[in-house]
Structure 1
Amino acid sequence: MSESSDLIKLYSTRILALAADIPHLGRLEAPQASVRKRSPLCGSTVTVDLDLTDGRVSRFGQEVKACALGQAAAAVLGDAVLGQTPEALERAARQLEDMLKHDGAVPDAPFDGFEALLPARDFKNRHASILLAVQAAAEAARQAQS
């Protein structure tokens, strides 16, 4: 298969639909924690703001300036993040990285929507952008917990 047709397959209708409908877009006013992550390879950036209440994400906002894959990953995260613990976010980040880089399993529910990004395994130059949102959320949750 040619590289061009592989890219067309990668940017599936499902990924583009996720990228077009990202939950919790926008910054929060006075969040407990805020983390900005940037992929040096492609320039994608994600900023995550969040609050914890009783050890769980109670408010969440994200500013996403990324390719469709990074946007799709932010959409999956945004759909599942409320109510999650810092530990669950760290686990999701590890599982997503393992899925992409080591042919690991799809992350556990409620983060199993990352399955849509399975075709990106073969595109190592896209991995950093895909990981930005969940890594930023995990870091922000750790900061808010401190």
Structure 2
Amino acid sequence: MSLNESAHFMSGETDLIKLYSGRILALAADIPHSERLTSADASVKKRSPLCGSIVTVDLDITDGRVSAFGQDVKACALGQASASVVGGALIGCTPAQAFKARDQLRALLKGSGEIPDAPFDGFEVFLPASAYKNRHASILLSIEAACEAIDIIYAKEKNAAHPV
């Protein structure tokens, strides 16, 4: 490896280390609502095929808002940090807010979006992850599982208008 190649490799390695910032690690260590619900309107289990991270979410909706949320997270630090943001933000949100947060996080990871709206603005911590496409699926697991659970609830309630 030449000196230039070595410097480029080390620069990439430094960028990867920045991705796992203190904030990411702090979020990963403190995941809200990390217990499954005993009885949920819907449950969804999602797995990231690349890294094997798995998130299972349980969700209830009452009066058009997420009223209860639980999750079992077996994921890398990025997946755990994302689950932490979701767990801290989702209860009290409308389904439309959850779907918007998912779409905003997808755009942020593609490098084409703004920081998601509150209460999901904690996703800002993933700005450096846009350069690491292989990490995106793990970061999206929890919010995508929550949105799928919302879809299931509204599919069960055939007379209810889907929120999005």
TM interval, short-chain normalised: over 0.9
- Provide the rounded CA distance (Å) in 2 between the counterparts of 1:86 and 1:100: 21
CA distance in 2, matches of 1:104, 1:3: 23
Match for 1:86 among 82, 91, 95?
Answer: 95
- Runs (5+) with no aligned partner, structure 1: none
User: What CA deviation, in whole Å up to 9, does each residue of 1:9-68 have, x standing for no partner?
Assistant: 110000000000000001110111001111111111111101011011111000111110
What TM-score do the two structures reach when normalised by structure 2? 0.86
1:66 aligns with 2:94: no
- Is 1:33 aligned to residue 42 of structure 2? yes
C-alpha distance after superposition, 1:103-131 (max 9, x if no partner): 31111111000001111111110000000
Q: Distance in 2 between matches of 1:5 and 1:120?
A: 13
Structure 1 position 141, deviation (Å): 1.5
Out of 2, 8, 29, the residue aligned to residue 17 of structure 2 is 8
Compare CA radii of gyration and give the structure with the larger one.
2
Specify the code of the residue in structure 2 equivalent to 1:56.
R
The alignment covers a number of residue pairs equal to: 146
Please, what is the CA RMSD of the aligned residues? Answer: 1.0
CA distance in 2, matches of 1:142, 1:55: 13
- Displacement over 6 Å in runs of 4+: none
Structure 1 letter corresponding to 2:68: R
Aligned to 1:49: 58
What is the TM-score of this pair, normalised by structure 1? 0.96
Using the aligned pairs only, state the percent identity.
65
* Match of residue 161 from structure 2: none
